[in-house]
């Protein structure tokens, strides 16, 4: 009888151990598993970058930022509305090569492979920093999209189109949250940030661009390359066909800074992605472009 009781206890212990192990392998909050340091954290380290996850064809993964792991998911490319609308990519690539002196090919290069407002997109306006606490504060201080579309002089899509007066402003937002990121054909990394709300009328979103690079002899090359390298180190060198990547349980807090840019390419509310029944499309064509500095909080 004593041996029989011992056997029951052993079976129970094995069952509990297997159950805990299975729980830690499922894709729920990492911090909820026992033995995080030896089990879940070790597994999560395998999935620290989007590149690794894309190669493994996984739809969910954990992104490590500092001491935290953020659960992320892949949004299918069919649910992403792209920003770059240059007429023919062949002419865009040719123009980019001529202008940059570098080989700029869509989706496979770090150099800008578009034409629309190329000079403005691949340069940094430098001036006194205008500081905003939140995305809400920034959006509330911007000229309306209607006024920018009717701007005099007209904002054109020409590669030589420079920043107009309203865009000649360098801003810093102290607290914003990353909602998703994806790569566009012109090699920009397009990122949706916002005020931390998810869904409903209180959610405020904004486009920011980690721009593809100008030629190496540009005086802005080093700063733009530094922040682009930071994104690649953290998220991986995203591919155009991968769709978007977004946090699903907790948004990623950041501070961002760079010059303002009004994207004449698209009307407000078109660019972004949809996931979980929510449309993550900023309701303005204003952007921070290019992002010059990003700090994870």
**Could you tell me the two tokens for 280?**
């993550």
Whether 153 shows a pLDDT value over 60: the answer reads yes
Residue 124 has pLDDT above 60, yes or no: yes
d(CA 110, CA 102): 10
Residues in the chain: 297
Query: Which has the higher per-residue pLDDT, 52 or 112?
Result: 112
pLDDT value, residue 63: 85
One domain for residues 90 and 130: yes
Position 62 scores a pLDDT of 82
Verify that 138 and 40 share a domain, yes or no. Answer: no
In a domain, 64, yes or no: no
Q: Is 242 helix (H, G, I), strand (E, B) or coil?
A: helix
Q: Read out DSSP for 152-200? A: SSPP---TT----GGG--EEEEEEEEEEEEEE-TTS-EEEEEESS--SS
pLDDT of residue 37: 38
Q: Do 9 and 102 belong together in one domain?
A: no
Residue 149 located in a structural domain: yes
Question: Same structural domain for residues 276 and 171?
Answer: yes
Do 148 and 283 lie in a common domain? yes
* Residue range 110-139: mean pLDDT, rounded: 97
**Neighbour-count burial for 259-277, b at 16+ CB within 10 Å, e otherwise:** bbbbbbbeebebbbbbbee
pLDDT grade, residue 51 (50/70/90)? low
Please report whether residue 67 resides in a domain. no
DSSP state of 31: G
Angle 198-206-293 from CA coordinates, rounded to 5°: 115
Q: What is the average pLDDT value for the chain, to the nearest integer? A: 82
Tell me the mean pLDDT in the region 95-121: 80
> Are residues 164 and 235 both part of a single domain?
yes
**Measured at the alpha carbon of residue 51, what is the angle toward residues 48 and 56, in degrees to the nearest 5?**
90
The answer, yes or no, to whether residue 141 has pLDDT greater than 70, is yes
Q: Which domain holds residue 21?
A: 1-45
pLDDT at 236: 85
In a domain, 230, yes or no: yes
Determine which of 29-38, 52-61, 161-170, 204-213 has the lowest per-residue pLDDT on average: 29-38
DSSP state of 253: E
Per the structure, the count of domains in the chain is 2
Same domain, 261 and 155: yes
What pLDDT is stored for residue 20 in this prediction? 34
Residues 112 and 255 placed together within one structural domain of the fold: yes
Least confident of 86-90, 98-102, 240-244: 86-90
CA distance 147 to 284: 12
CA distances from 143 to 81, 171, 172, 231 (A): 24, 14, 17, 29
């Amino acid at each position: 009888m004593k041996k029989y009781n011992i056997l029951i206890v052993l079976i129970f212990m094995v069952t509990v151990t297997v159950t805990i192990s299975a729980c830690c392998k499922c894709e729920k909050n990492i911090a909820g598993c026992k033995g995080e340091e030896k089990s879940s954290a070790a597994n999560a380290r395998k999935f620290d970058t989007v590149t690794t996850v894309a190669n493994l064809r996984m739809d969910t993964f954990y992104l490590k930022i500092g001491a935290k792991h953020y659960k992320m998911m892949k949004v299918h490319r069919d649910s992403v509305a792209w920003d770059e609308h240059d007429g023919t990519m062949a002419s865009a690539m040719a123009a980019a090569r001529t202008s940059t002196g570098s080989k700029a090919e869509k989706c496979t290069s770090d150099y800008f492979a578009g034409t629309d407002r190329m000079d403005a997109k691949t340069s940094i306006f430098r001036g006194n920093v205008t500081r905003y606490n939140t995305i809400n504060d920034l959006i509330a201080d911007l000229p309306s999209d209607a006024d920018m579309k009717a701007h005099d002089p007209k904002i054109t899509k020409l590669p030589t189109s420079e920043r107009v007066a309203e865009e000649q402003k360098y801003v810093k937002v102290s607290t914003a949250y990353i909602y998703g990121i994806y790569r566009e054909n012109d090699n920009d990394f397009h990122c949706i940030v916002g005020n931390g709300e998810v869904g409903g009328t209180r959610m405020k979103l904004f486009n920011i661009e980690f721009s593809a690079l100008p030629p190496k002899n540009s005086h802005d090359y080093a700063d733009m390359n530094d922040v682009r390298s930071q994104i690649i180190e953290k998220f991986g060198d995203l591919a155009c066909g991968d769709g978007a990547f977004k946090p699903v349980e907790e948004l990623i807090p950041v501070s961002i800074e760079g010059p303002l840019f009004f994207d004449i390419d698209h009307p407000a509310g078109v660019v972004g992605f949809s996931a979980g029944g929510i449309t993550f499309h900023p309701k303005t064509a204003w952007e921070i472009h290019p992002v010059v500095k990003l700090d994870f909080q």
